């Protein structure tokens, strides 16, 4: 089962934890990432995950991010099926981040 985290919980973790313990994986398309993205994300569009999975650390907790949380949840399930264990999905995605954490983040 993929764990979940709210935008507010993630924001708190990013403030209080060493960010090197987390791998932020944004699975949106490049045009979406150009509109808004969290600092320090690894961007791999959902369709490229199978070919690029080796780019991901198996040691770090991976926080999967997309626009509303649906694509990232699917990617999270796929990553778990491939043997990655520390997978968390950002509930509500970047849309929820913009609405609850950082209103300066563009909505689309």
pLDDT at 53: 97
Q: How far apart are CA 2 and CA 64, in angstroms?
A: 10
pLDDT at 32: 98
According to CATH, the superfamily of the domain at 3-100 is: Rhodanese-like domain (3.40.250.10)
Domain boundaries, the chain: 3-100
Active site residues: 66
Query: Tens digit of pLDDT for each residue in 39-56?
Result: 999 999 999 999 999 999
- Other Cβ atoms less than 10 A from the Cβ of 6: the count is 15
Query: Tens digit of pLDDT for each residue in 52-84?
Result: 999 999 999 999 999 999 999 999 999 999 999
Identify any residues that bridge with 26 across adjacent strands, giving them in sequence order.
43, 65
């Amino acid at each position: 089962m993929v764990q979940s985290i709210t935008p507010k919980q993630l924001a708190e973790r990013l403030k209080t934890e060493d960010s090197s313990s987390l791998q932020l994986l944004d699975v949106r398309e490049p045009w979406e990432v150009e509109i808004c993205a969290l600092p320090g994300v690894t961007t791999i569009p959902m369709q490229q995950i199978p070919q690029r999975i080796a780019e991901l650390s198996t040691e770090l907790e991976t926080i999967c991010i997309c626009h509303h949380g649906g694509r990232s949840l699917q990617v999270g399930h796929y990553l778990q099926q491939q043997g990655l264990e520390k997978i968390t999905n950002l509930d509500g995605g970047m849309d929820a981040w913009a609405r609850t954490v950082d209103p300066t983040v563009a909505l689309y």
